[in-house]
Chain A
Amino acid sequence: GESVGLHLPTLSVQEGDNSIINCAYSNSASDYFIWYKQESGKGPQFIIDIRSNMDKRQGQRVTVLLNKTVKHLSLQIAATQPGDSAVYFCAENGGAQKLVFGQGTRLTINP
């Protein structure tokens, strides 16, 4: 069945370091993946997406890597800033209308 899971529920990094948030999925038919960021008191905010015909996609300070062989997705944030503190969710869309979300990783930035 479909499931999207995260390896770690929390991640603490030093300000200025790079952050890597991981996600595993089980549906090999999934072909579209999204990362969302949710700050306290707000709804999830779209960060970046990737289709299964790509291995890597870069945005502003963020990179998403997709390894279809092991069904693994990661979000890399370069030069982490205090404003990056949030819960990060991966989601997969294996069928129209339905996003399946992971449980989320809380990213904490240490000064």
Chain B
Amino acid sequence: ETGVTQTPRHLVMGMTNKKSLKCEQHLGHNAMYWYKQSAKKPLELMFVYNFKEQTENNSVPSRFSPECPNSSHLFLHLHTLQPEDSALYLCASSLGTGKSDTQYFGPGTRLTVL
């Protein structure tokens, strides 16, 4: 256990559905991240939040909408996704956003878009 939990672990949705991914960290960290992991591709950073404020949006399409109500919780709201959005979505947290602030990852949500 890394102290970062994600729910659900698996999600299947149609292109017209709206769903949300949830991440919670129990580490007292201030920064949280969303990553996308596709088959045979490096991890791609999507969003960064630091003290609840979004500090990075890595050119992510608007059908992905993050929300960070507090430093312990991070959501990723999904709507009108495409089949190519099927991937493992990983949440991470770190104490701060400095270079040497180790990021701790959750187990991920395996998303399949039909």
Residues of chain A at the chain B interface (Cβ within 8 Å): 4, 31-32, 34, 36, 41-46, 49, 51, 89, 93, 95-104
Residues of chain B at the chain A interface (Cβ within 8 Å): 2, 4, 31, 40-43, 45, 48, 50, 55-56, 90, 92, 97-100, 102-108
Q: Kindly provide the distance from the CB of B70 to the nearest chain A CB, expressed in whole angstroms.
A: 19
> A103 to B40, Cβ gap below 8 A?
yes
3 cross-chain pairs, A with B, having the tightest CB-CB distances, nearest first? A43-B105, A101-B43, A97-B97
> A102 to B42, Cβ gap below 8 A?
yes
Q: Which of B2, B41, B55, B104 lies in contact with A97, CB distance below 8 A?
A: B55
In the complex, the chain A residue whose C-beta lies closest to that of B43 is A101
Q: Kindly provide the distance from the CB of A76 to the nearest chain B CB, expressed in whole angstroms.
A: 20
A43 neighbours in B (Cβ, 8 Å) = 2, 4, 90, 92, 105-108
In the complex, the chain A residue whose C-beta lies closest to that of B50 is A97
In the complex, the chain B residue whose C-beta lies closest to that of A3 is B42
> B99 to A44, Cβ gap below 8 A?
no
Q: Kindly provide the distance from the CB of A48 to the nearest chain B CB, expressed in whole angstroms.
A: 10
> A103 to B55, Cβ gap below 8 A?
no
CA distance A44 to B2 in the complex (A): 10
> B107 to A41, Cβ gap below 8 A?
yes
Most chain A beta-carbon neighbours within 10 Å: one of B41, B42, B106: B42
> A103 to B107, Cβ gap below 8 A?
no
> A103 to B100, Cβ gap below 8 A?
no
> A31 to B99, Cβ gap below 8 A?
yes
A41 neighbours in B (Cβ, 8 Å) = 107
Q: Which of A36, A46, A96 lies in contact with B99, CB distance below 8 A?
A: A96
Most chain B beta-carbon neighbours within 10 Å: one of A93, A96, A102: A96
> B102 to A49, Cβ gap below 8 A?
yes
In the complex, the chain A residue whose C-beta lies closest to that of B40 is A103
Can you give 30 A-B contacts (C-beta < 8 A)?
A: A4-B42, A32-B100, A34-B102, A41-B107, A42-B108, A43-B2, A43-B4, A43-B92, A43-B105, A43-B108, A44-B43, A46-B102, A46-B103, A46-B104, A51-B100, A89-B42, A93-B99, A93-B100, A96-B98, A96-B99, A97-B31, A97-B48, A97-B50, A98-B45, A99-B43, A99-B103, A100-B42, A101-B43, A103-B41, A104-B42
